[in-house]
Amino acid sequence: MRTLIYKRTHTGDPDKKGRFGIHDCMRSVRTWGFEAVIGVGGISAEPESHGLARKVNWIGIGPHKRAEAGKPGLIVTFDHFLLFECDGPSFPELAPKLANRMYSKNVRKVMNSLDRGEVGEVGNILALAKDAPPSSAGGAGRVTTSKKCVPRTPSAKAIKGCSR
């Protein structure tokens, strides 16, 4: 399954409804031909301040891309959506080879050229969301965040740091 894995810096995109791109982060990347997305926390000060660092933050499987009035770029929803934010499992523990590749080489996003071990790790992460309900207009399929890390609307500074 073609899976986009990318490092996040802040909460709020995707939102609790499971809409990836709601604050236009990862603009052009959202057009790529992925079948699943895994958002993991980066390791800089910004994701650290939100409790996202080195954690699996969210998983989406089965994308649906569409334009939304008043929003630049595409909004992506999913057949299966699981939002952890800061309560996610440790990325290095769940996927040590992939985490090492992304953190030691400062890779922002990856979709192709995964080795066999990394593909297996991606499969293990995606398995966490295989039974999660879909994104929806009324609310996300499954949100597992605690009150301490309720997603917020990203600040202008955070949005400026998004890869567009």
Flag whether the pTM goes above 0.75. yes
Residues 20, 30: contact at Cβ < 8 Å?
yes
Residue 132: per-residue pLDDT? 96
Tell me which residue of 163, 157, 140 sits closest to 49, measured CA to CA: 157
Higher pLDDT, 26 or 100: 100
pLDDT of 60 over the 80 cut:
yes
Arithmetic mean of pLDDT over the chain: 87
Q: Give the span between the Cα atoms of 84 and 67, in whole angstroms.
A: 25
* Res. 145 pLDDT band, cuts 50 70 90: low
| Mean pLDDT value across residues 82-108 | 96
Domain ranges of the chain: 3-160
User: In residues, how long is the chain?
Assistant: 164
pLDDT of 158 over the 60 cut:
no
* Res. 105 pLDDT band, cuts 50 70 90: very high
Range in 65-69, 108-112, 144-148, 156-160 the model is least confident about? 156-160
Residue 137: per-residue pLDDT? 57
Residues 76, 20: contact at Cβ < 8 Å?
yes
Higher pLDDT, 117 or 159: 117
Spell out the alpha helix ranges (H) of the chain: 45-49, 91-94, 96-104, 116-127, 156-160
Residue 151: per-residue pLDDT? 46
pLDDT of 155 over the 90 cut:
no
Residue 124: per-residue pLDDT? 97
* Res. 70 pLDDT band, cuts 50 70 90: confident
